[in-house]
């Protein structure tokens, strides 16, 4: 699991390879990533959007931008948490992701870029 904290908002990521949804001989590798956001700040925030940078193998790169996270724009009061699971499909048995969540402070509308730490996705067999 990896963590990053920005303005007292912590994002943690846990990754799991999904062999039941992967087809290695067809270069299809599916990874689930579990995101946990904890608002330790004194301000209520709303997650507005995400921006991902994905490395698929040694050369392929792509970006993903969009509103919300998995179709939601959650509001987190001080001390509250939000968790969700999403997926990344790779054409290689390894890759990485990192990015930012854009959140607005409810009191003044100030937009914060919350770091999502770099995390790697790797076929477990490559680790042994």
Q: Residue 91: CA atoms inside 13 Å, Cβ hemisphere, count? A: 8
Q: State the total domains in the chain.
A: 1
CA 73 – CA 79 distance, rounded (Å): 17
CA 12 – CA 24 distance, rounded (Å): 28
Tell me the per-residue pLDDT of 86-128, one tens digit each, with 9 for 90 and over.
Answer: 999 999 999 999 999 999 999 999 999 999 999 999 998 888 7
Tell me the per-residue pLDDT of 30-85, one tens digit each, with 9 for 90 and over.
Answer: 999 999 999 999 999 999 999 999 999 988 999 999 999 999 999 999 999 999 99
User: Domain residues for 61?
Assistant: 2-127
CATH number at residue 23: 2.60.40.1470
CA 84 – CA 106 distance, rounded (Å): 22
Predicted model pTM: 0.93
């Amino acid at each position: 699991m990896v963590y990053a904290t920005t303005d007292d908002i912590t994002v943690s990521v846990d990754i799991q390879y999904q062999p039941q949804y992967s087809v290695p001989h067809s270069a299809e590798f599916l990874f689930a990533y579990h995101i946990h956001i904890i608002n330790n700040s004194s301000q209520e925030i709303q997650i507005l959007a995400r921006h991902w940078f994905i490395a698929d193998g040694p050369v392929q790169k792509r970006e993903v931008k969009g509103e919300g996270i998995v179709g939601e724009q959650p509001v987190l009061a001080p001390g509250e948490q939000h968790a969700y699971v999403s997926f990344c499909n790779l054409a290689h048995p390894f890759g990485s992701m990192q990015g930012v969540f854009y959140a607005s402070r409810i009191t003044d509308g100030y937009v914060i870029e919350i770091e999502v730490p770099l995390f790697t996705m790797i076929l477990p067999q490559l680790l042994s």
